[in-house]
Amino acid sequence: MAEILFLEDEVTIREVIVEYMNVAGHKVTECGNGDEAVERLKEKNFDLAVLDIRVPGISGLKVLEHIRTELKSDMGVIMLTAYEDINTQVEAFNFFADDYITKPASPIILLKRIEVLLRRISDDVKMKDSSLVIDDKAYRAYYEGKDLNLTVSEFLLIKTLHDSPNQVLSREQLILSIFNEDYIGNDRIIDAHIKNLRKKLPVNVIDTVIGIGYRWKED
C-alpha cells in the first residue's frame, strides 16, 4: 500500500482512477486544483504523486516544481495529461518527473506504472540503507554515500568479489572478469588492484588466500 496524491480536475476521471487505486490497496488523497495539491503536500508525506498538468490554480508542472525545489523531495511523480507536445514533456522531465502518461490513459496501465515506480523507489531506499552500494549502470561504488572513485578495473574487481561472498576466486578468474580473454601478462596485476582497493575501502572486507587468490568477507 502506498500514500498517493492524485491531482485531477475532471471529476469523472478522478473518481474512476481513485476507485482502481483503492482496489489496488493504495490510500489516495484527491485534489481538484494545483493550490490544493500544494497544501496537501505541506500537511503530510506521500510515497507518490500523480499530477494532471492542466488544472485550475497553479499547474501540475508547478506542483512538480514545488515538490522538487521547495520540499526537496525525491518522492515518485507521474505526470498524467492530455498534452502530447515534446516541450511540455521535456519541461516535466527537467523537474525530474519519473514518468509521463498521456490521456486517455487506461487505469490498469496507470496502476502498472505506479507499481513499477514504487518498486524502483523501494530498491533505491534499500541501496541507501546499505553501507556499500555498487551502481552497475554508472560503474561507481559508494561507501556510506561517499564515492570511492574507482577506476573501471577496480570497479569490475570489487563487483566480481562482492557478487561471490565468501568464495575464493583465483587471480586468473579475476583477470577474466576484468579483461575477458584479451589480457596477456603477469597475473600479479590483480595484487596491485587489490592493494588500491584496500586503500580506498574504509573497511577490511577482502581476504588474501595464500597460493590461491582473494575472498570477499560477507558482513
Residue 18, pLDDT > 90, answer yes
Sign of the C-alpha dihedral computed for residues 188, 171, 142 and 92 taken in this order: positive
Confidence of residue 129 (pLDDT cuts 50, 70, 90): very low
Alpha-carbon gap, residue 52 to 49, rounded angstroms: 10
Range with the largest mean pLDDT of 12-26, 75-89, 132-146: 12-26
Chain centroid to Cα 179, Å, comes to: 29
List, for residues 179-197, the tens digit of each pLDDT value.
766 666 677 889 999 999 9
Instruction: Tell me 68's DSSP state.
Output: I
Q: How far apart are CA 18 and CA 14, in angstroms?
A: 6
Size of the chain in residues: 219
Q: What is the pLDDT of residue 82?
A: 80
Write out the three cell numbers for 184.
Answer: 596477456
Closest CA to 73 of 112, 22, 38, 106: 38
Q: Is 4 exposed, middle or buried (0-12, 13-18, 19+ CB in 10 A)?
A: buried
3-state secondary structure of 64: helix
Q: Are 7 and 14 in contact, with CB atoms under 8 Å apart?
A: no
pLDDT of 181: 61
Residues 6 and 112: their CA atoms lie apart, in Å, by 16
Determine whether 51 is exposed, middle or buried from the number of CB atoms within 10 Å of its CB (0-12, 13-18, 19+).
buried
Residue 146 has pLDDT above 80, yes or no: yes
Span 6-32, mean pLDDT? 94
What integer best gives the mean pLDDT of the chain? 88
Return the amino acid letter for 186: N
Select the more confidently predicted residue: 218 or 2.
Answer: 2
Nearest to 187 by CA among 167, 212, 162, 204: 212
